[in-house]
Structure 1
């Protein structure tokens, strides 16, 4: 890679929330879409139930993507495990369940797929979520490509660093702040993750000059993906596995 990072074992394209728009988000059905389209990496959101089971869900509430209601953090895993997390996306996904982090790890191992775990704490649970996600990920991914941990929460990523320092970390921003270098240095990150809308070629070069990789989200236009890759963006997160071929950026790979 042009930025000299030699500990970045991840592909250029990653499936947003497991399967992008092709499957119910943050479910094991997304892995099927990845396999169908040749994707070798997923991104998903991890949070805690009321009794501290780590499971996959993006929102703080259950209403948008399940047949449950209210705050996810107020439900036990026994309650959450009964919910339908697929019917909202189409009849063919009826009965799809919320997966645990352990189940996601099993699918990663079975399908030889890498993972970017976004630590997504419910309000007030940043530290415990960061700690437990990192601890369990460190154990669950033994013997396979270690997951890349990321979060918008500084406190959650700090806790993850302290709980599992060997796992690589990336700080998530929407727009990259002026003090980004201080933040990533304090967290000992290997990457910076940002909305592609706020990235520029000079900014990517500046981040690379500090020895960090760059992840851009969420890119659903092939022309935009190619431009970002030409800028040197190391990983692109997409919802559209069907129109961004998994190998479309291979010819644009940075020279060693």
Structure 2
């Protein structure tokens, strides 16, 4: 049993995936601005380490897909990463958008009163150090915040390192299909929540997770009908790419 089941879940019913979903370059400040524009007050993003151990936002192991650069992210210093155009791939209006550091995003989110789910997204071979350094940086950047960032990861070693480095920050185990031993994993890592791919969730599993005292978030939910179904199963939050379709200002059950 989690030590945190009685703490209220501070996150809204809908969370913007990678800042602003698919409407702006993912994992950029432009993305977060898009989420804010549609009324979102919580977002998710991916954080990994540069070659010189700066925490920055990027989903892939390489910079090829979402920038004008090439090669492995873990081989580039933050100075090198900061020179890349991380927005032009999404259209001329976003040309020149930078790869932000976690510090950049922390400043923006706190200024906008936006809550954040940080997915710890290690490059290959850097699981433990990424978990440790991202947790330490998040604890520093949000020191004294009324709602700290929620740390999640697919990588148990990264979450374990985050737990040791910043035990006070809330954690969530992230998975595609929910493993049979989910109770053991959540208990070992003292998680407050389980995050899963919505297509793998069943109503019975959702009921079991909620009855065990955990919060439940599903990704990536891009239709109102599916979001309403999941909400009916007891899912606390859904992460969406379609920030234009799911209106955060109204409860899902009332839309």
So what's the TM-score if we normalise by structure 2? Answer: 0.96
Question: Which residue in 2 is equivalent to 1:69?
Answer: 70
Question: Which residue in 2 is equivalent to 1:104?
Answer: 105
Q: Helix, strand or coil: the match of 1:220?
A: coil
Q: How does 1:1-256 map onto structure 2 within 5 Å?
A: 5-144=6-145, 145-249=147-251, 251=253
Structure 1 residue runs without a partner (length 5+): none
Contact 1:26 1:98 (8 Å CA) reproduced: yes
Residues 182 and 110 of structure 1, relative CA distance in 2, 3 Å threshold: same
The CA deviation at 1:209 is 1.1
The CA deviation at 1:181 is 0.8
Q: Distance in 2 between matches of 1:193 and 1:39?
A: 19
Q: Distance in 1 between matches of 2:123 and 2:159?
A: 14
The CA deviation string for residues 197-226 of structure 1, in whole angstroms up to 9 with x for no partner, is 011111111001111000000000110000
The CA deviation string for residues 169-213 of structure 1, in whole angstroms up to 9 with x for no partner, is 000000001111111111110000000001111111100111100
Contact 1:226 1:249 (8 Å CA) reproduced: no
For these two proteins, the number of residue pairs brought into alignment is 250
The CA deviation at 1:32 is 1.1
The CA deviation at 1:70 is 0.7
Contact 1:44 1:117 (8 Å CA) reproduced: yes
The CA deviation string for residues 103-132 of structure 1, in whole angstroms up to 9 with x for no partner, is 000011110000000000000000000000
Structure 2 residue runs without a partner (length 5+): none
Q: Distance in 2 between matches of 1:249 and 1:229?
A: 10
Contact 1:37 1:242 (8 Å CA) reproduced: yes
Q: Helix, strand or coil: the match of 1:160?
A: helix
Q: Distance in 2 between matches of 1:200 and 1:142?
A: 37
Q: Helix, strand or coil: the match of 1:219?
A: coil
Contact 2:175 2:197 (8 Å CA) reproduced: yes
Q: Distance in 2 between matches of 1:202 and 1:181?
A: 15
RMSD, aligned α-carbons: 1.3
Q: Helix, strand or coil: the match of 2:125?
A: coil
Q: Distance in 1 between matches of 2:133 and 2:8?
A: 24
